């Protein structure tokens, strides 16, 4: 569990750094005393690659062993990425020292029922439902969306498979990349809404 959502992260960077670290530390300290623990699954994020992508570029699909680079530590947005890097480090260092089994999964743009309104697809659904003119930031940026049922299936496999112990796994869909502007048009078409798009930086 973590404080998530770009708006939430930008408005509450102190909470991100505090809560995401403390909950992970409490969990791992508790796990040290569990003799029958089968595995901890640490939920990380594709956001962890953002600094490397921005400064050095990375291949897509991305190998989980790519070196991670922080972006601007002064930016509130960086706190989420940093909290997940810290969490991954906790898993490896506590896990290795105290023999705690774990698997880290980095989720890539999971969407589906009950996801809330803090992500691009539900945000667009609301905008398109309410407005004739829809603002679209970063229209040419692309994302690959992963449906929740697929993410759940892969998460279960990651938990149950013994060879995933102490491994990092990307969970996403590399085959259906879409630009944000085309995603917006697709949602409008499915909602049968005629909209005008105003592109933003």
Predicted confidence (pLDDT) per residue in 7-61, tens digit: 888 999 999 999 999 999 999 999 999 999 999 999 999 999 999 999 999 888 8
Residue 118: pLDDT over 80: no
Distance between CA 25 and CA 150 in Å, rounded? 29
At 68, the pLDDT band (50, 70, 90 cuts) reads very high
Token pair listed for 125: 């659904």
Mean pLDDT, the chain, rounded, equals 93
Alpha-carbon distances, residue 188 vs 64, 92, 120, 176 (angstroms): 35, 44, 13, 18
pLDDT higher for 175 or 81? 81
- pTM above 0.85? yes
At 6, the pLDDT band (50, 70, 90 cuts) reads confident
At 119, the pLDDT band (50, 70, 90 cuts) reads confident
At 130, the pLDDT band (50, 70, 90 cuts) reads very high
Give the closest residue to 138 by CA, choosing from 6, 2, 4, 3.
Answer: 6
| Residue bearing tokens 């970063």 | 138
Residues contacting 117, CB < 8 A, separation 6+: 123, 126
Predicted confidence (pLDDT) per residue in 69-82, tens digit: 998 899 998 999 99
Average pLDDT over residues 179-188: 95
């Amino acid at each position: 569990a973590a404080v998530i959502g770009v708006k939430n992260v930008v408005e509450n960077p102190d909470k991100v750094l505090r809560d995401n670290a403390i909950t992970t530390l409490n969990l791992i300290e508790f796990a040290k005393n569990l003799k029958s623990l089968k595995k901890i699954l640490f939920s990380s994020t594709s956001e962890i690659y953002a600094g490397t992508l921005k400064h050095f570029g990375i291949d897509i699909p991305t190998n989980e062993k790519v070196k991670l680079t922080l972006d601007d530590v002064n930016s509130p947005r960086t706190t989420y990425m940093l909290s997940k890097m810290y969490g991954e480090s906790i898993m490896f260092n506590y896990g290795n020292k105290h023999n705690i089994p774990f698997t880290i999964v980095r989720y890539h743009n999971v969407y589906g029922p009950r996801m809330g309104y803090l992500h691009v697809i539900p945000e667009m659904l609301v905008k398109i439902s309410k407005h004739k003119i829809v603002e679209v930031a970063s229209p040419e940026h692309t994302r690959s969306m992963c449906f929740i049922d697929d993410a759940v299936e892969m998460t279960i496999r990651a938990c149950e498979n013994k060879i995933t112990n102490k491994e990092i796994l990307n969970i996403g869909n590399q085959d259906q990349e879409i630009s944000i502007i085309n995603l917006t048009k697709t949602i409008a078409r499915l909602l049968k809404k005629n909209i005008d798009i105003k592109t933003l930086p």
